[in-house]
């Protein structure tokens, strides 16, 4: 079954909006796992507008499932990951002022750069993943870096789902098959939700993990974390 990793950036955004420590981020991580989440994802950014570096350092004390840290591999980010040694690091090519991630890596143009960083992480026993668009040549480029996995950037799927879900999922099916052929694990994330997740998981072969934050947090405002996590797991199981 595909694992569900919950991105808790938005919880940190809510906390930061008033200062203090409410909602309590470590407690939220503990509760999400208690309700069934199989991983916790964070994406610290240079301005620390949601996840702070101190959060990244404290969360390993409460994450008993898989801990995934996403980010652009600046020197500060690399030092953070090597210090914490999470289960997985996902490399994302976001600029400092990006509101959210908006593209995958060009794994051909940045192949040597990525290879060097991935070697550092793998030498420390940290599983690596590269955020990529669902294009065969980007999967092939990722394979040349030595990465363990790719995370397919699913914004295009989510935006096209209601117009033609079969057409929208097809590039991801092709990309996942190429990754499997090359021996790379497949993750996915960005704009996946209760509405579009089941169809994606049913059609994309050997999907190992999805990382979901924004939609899940928004839906939880109405349904609550304790209810929403089993609903996501049910969609992944079918």
Give 209's strand partners.
3, 187
Contacts (Cβ under 8 Å, ≥6 apart) of 142: 105, 107, 114, 130, 132, 150, 179, 184
Map tokens 């117009």 to a residue.
163
List 50, 66, 70, 209, catalytic entry: 70
Cβ neighbours around 22 below 10 Å, total: 10
Active site residue 190: yes
Residue 41: φ, ψ to 5°: -115, 140
- Would you state the structure tokens that stand for residue 22, as one six-digit string? 């409410």
- Residues contacting 234, CB < 8 A, separation 6+: none
In the residue annotation, 70 being an active-site residue is answered as yes
Phi, psi for 176 (deg, rounded to 5)? -65, -40
What 61-67 contacts at long range (C-beta under 8 Å, 24+ apart), as own/partner pairs, is 61/26, 62/26, 62/27, 62/29, 62/30, 63/29, 63/33, 64/33, 65/33, 65/37, 65/38, 65/39, 65/40, 66/3, 66/5, 66/38, 66/39, 66/40, 66/209, 67/39, 67/40
Q: Which of 50, 66, 143, 190 is catalytic?
A: 190
Check if 43 is active-site.
Answer: yes
Residues classed as catalytic: 43, 70, 190
């Amino acid at each position: 079954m595909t694992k569900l990793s919950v991105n808790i950036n938005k919880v940190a955004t809510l906390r930061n909006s008033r200062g203090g420590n409410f909602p309590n981020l470590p407690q939220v991580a503990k509760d999400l796992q208690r309700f069934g989440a199989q991983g916790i994802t964070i994406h610290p950014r240079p301005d620390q507008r949601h996840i702070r570096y101190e959060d990244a350092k404290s969360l390993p004390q409460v994450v008993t499932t898989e801990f995934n840290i996403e980010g652009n591999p600046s020197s500060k980010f690399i030092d953070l990951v090597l210090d914490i040694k999470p289960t997985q690091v996902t490399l994302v090519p976001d600029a400092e002022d990006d509101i959210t991630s908006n593209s995958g890596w060009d794994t051909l143009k940045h192949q040597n750069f990525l290879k060097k960083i991935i070697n550092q992480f793998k030498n420390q026993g940290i599983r690596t993943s590269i955020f990529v668009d669902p294009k065969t040549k980007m999967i092939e480029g990722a394979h040349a870096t030595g990465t363990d996995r790719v995370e397919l950037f699913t914004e295009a799927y989510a935006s096209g789902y209601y117009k033609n879900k079969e057409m929208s999922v097809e590039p991801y099916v092709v990309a996942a098959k190429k990754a499997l052929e090359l021996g790379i694990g497949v993750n996915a994330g960005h704009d996946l939700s209760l509405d579009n997740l089941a169809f994606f998981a049913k059609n994309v072969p050997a999907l190992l993990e999805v990382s979901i934050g924004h939609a899940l947090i928004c839906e939880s405002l109405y349904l609550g974390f304790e209810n929403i996590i089993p609903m996501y797991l049910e969609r992944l199981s079918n």
